[in-house]
């Protein structure tokens, strides 16, 4: 079976399974709050609108807390109603997050990770099993192709795309997508039928958002194009997760910007949910309040 035919077979079978499961998933309240459960586009995965991110400065901010304090913070977020946690192979936090989540009901939260696609000579299934061991989980709810930043990524990552679809057949991944950096990569997302979920940088003034290259710099002139792509992805049935709502730390001292970014992401761009990296209970409380205001 050719790779194209195999990919089509896997994708078609998984899509049929997802459609069959949609009506049976337990969703949360339908009100507009940060801790409501929303369905990510055409996927069969429901997540809270606010996700606990663990990749601030590559996860170094969270890792500096130490395991005990980090675990306390994760449990605080869980007690506040956050049921969506995310990490990545490239972060310092997968093992820490796995330890922090241990003991919480696995079917009561969603776990997203991201695989580095620049490995050579590594079988994707071996890698996914390694990531599961590190994260102390039987499965990932969402697996993303991490840091796609070139215009040819839909072609160069096909081995990993196929690997993720095979892992879904093994029931160790529930749904999948990609995170992109830079307009050349983002412009390839609309029309890429393999995608079910997109992780996209978005805020009101272009702080550390997508521009002509993948560099983490400010691009206020390109915000409208990013919003247009998000709208198109939503029309195509994708679930869209916003990131960099705090400008990659640039809004740390500006509550006004943090509020504006939250409102812009949900009201203008129309993301389904957003991930924010936390290092304190106060930041969790504020993000919940800001999102609730943005959704009101």
Give CA angle at 73 (54, 181), nearest 5°.
15
If residue 167 lies in a helix (H) or strand (E), which one and from where to where?
A: helix 158-169
**Percent share of the chain, pLDDT over 70:** 90
Helices (H) and strands (E) in the chain, counts: 11, 10
Second-level CATH architecture of 35-295 = Alpha-Beta Barrel (3.20)
- Say which residues have a Cβ less than 8 Å from residue 194's Cβ, sequence separation at least 6: 7, 11, 154, 161, 176
Cα–Cα distance between 230 and 33 in angstroms, integer? 21
Provide the CA 33 distance to its chain's centre, in angstroms: 19
Tell me what pLDDT residue 184 has: 97
Tell me what pLDDT residue 10 has: 57
**65 pLDDT higher than 50:** yes
| Chain segment 185-231, per-residue pLDDT in tens | 999 999 999 999 999 999 999 999 999 998 889 999 999 999 999 99
**116 pLDDT higher than 70:** yes
Tell me what pLDDT residue 22 has: 32
Tell me what pLDDT residue 249 has: 85
Classify the phi-psi angles of 206: left when phi > 0, otherwise alpha if psi is within -120 to 50, otherwise beta.
left
Residue 291: phi, psi to the nearest 5? -70, -40
Tell me what pLDDT residue 17 has: 45
Concatenated DSSP letters for 266-292?
A: IIII--SEEEEE-SSHHHHHHHHHHHH
Residue length of the chain: 296
Tell me what pLDDT residue 4 has: 53
Cα–Cα distance between 41 and 237 in angstroms, integer? 5
Through-space distance between the first and last CA atoms of the chain, rounded to whole angstroms: 51
Average pLDDT of the segment spanning 67-87: 98
| Chain segment 237-278, per-residue pLDDT in tens | 999 999 999 888 888 889 999 999 999 999 999 999 999 999
Strands 46-48 and 37-39: antiparallel
Going by the DSSP 8-state scheme, the letter that residue 250 receives in this structure is T
Contact 149, 114 (CB under 8 A): no
Mean pLDDT estimate for the chain: 91
**73 pLDDT higher than 90:** yes
Rounded alpha-carbon distances, angstroms, from residue 265 to 140, 205, 212: 25, 11, 21
Tell me what pLDDT residue 44 has: 83
| Chain segment 120-155, per-residue pLDDT in tens | 889 999 999 999 999 999 999 999 999 999 999 999
Rounded alpha-carbon distances, angstroms, from residue 207 to 123, 202, 219: 37, 8, 6
As given in the structure block, the two tokens for residue 191 are: 């029309």
């Amino acid at each position: 079976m050719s790779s194209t035919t195999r990919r089509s077979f896997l994708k078609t079978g998984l899509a049929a399974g997802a459609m069959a499961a949609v009506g049976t998933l337990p969703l949360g309240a339908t009100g507009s709050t940060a801790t409501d459960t929303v369905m990510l586009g055409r996927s069969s995965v429901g997540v809270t609108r606010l996700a606990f991110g663990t990749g601030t400065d590559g996860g170094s901010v969270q890792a500096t807390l130490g395991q005990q304090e980090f675990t306390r913070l994760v449990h605080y977020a869980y007690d506040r109603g956050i049921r969506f946690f995310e990490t990545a192979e490239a972060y310092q936090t997968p093992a820490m997050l796995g330890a922090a989540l241990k003991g919480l009901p696995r079917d009561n939260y969603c776990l997203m990770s991201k695989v580095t696609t620049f490995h050579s000579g590594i079988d994707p299934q071996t890698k996914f099993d390694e990531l599961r061991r590190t994260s102390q989980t039987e499965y990932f709810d969402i697996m993303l192709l991490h840091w796609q930043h070139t215009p040819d990524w839909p072609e160069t990552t096909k081995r990993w795309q196929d690997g993720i679809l095979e892992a879904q057949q093994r029931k160790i991944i529930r749904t999948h997508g990609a995170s992109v950096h830079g307009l050349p990569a983002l412009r390839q997302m609309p029309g890429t039928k393999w995608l079910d979920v997109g992780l996209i940088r978005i805020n009101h003034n272009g702080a550390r958002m997508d521009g002509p290259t993948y560099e983490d710099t400010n691009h206020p002139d390109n915000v409208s194009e990013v919003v247009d792509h998000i709208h198109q992805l939503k029309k195509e049935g994708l679930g869209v997760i916003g990131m960099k709502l705090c400008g990659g730390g640039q809004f740390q001292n500006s509550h006004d910007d943090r509020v504006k970014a939250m409102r812009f992401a949900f009201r203008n761009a129309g993301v389904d949910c957003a991930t924010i990296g936390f290092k304190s209970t106060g930041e969790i409380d504020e993000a919940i309040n800001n999102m609730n205001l943005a959704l009101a």
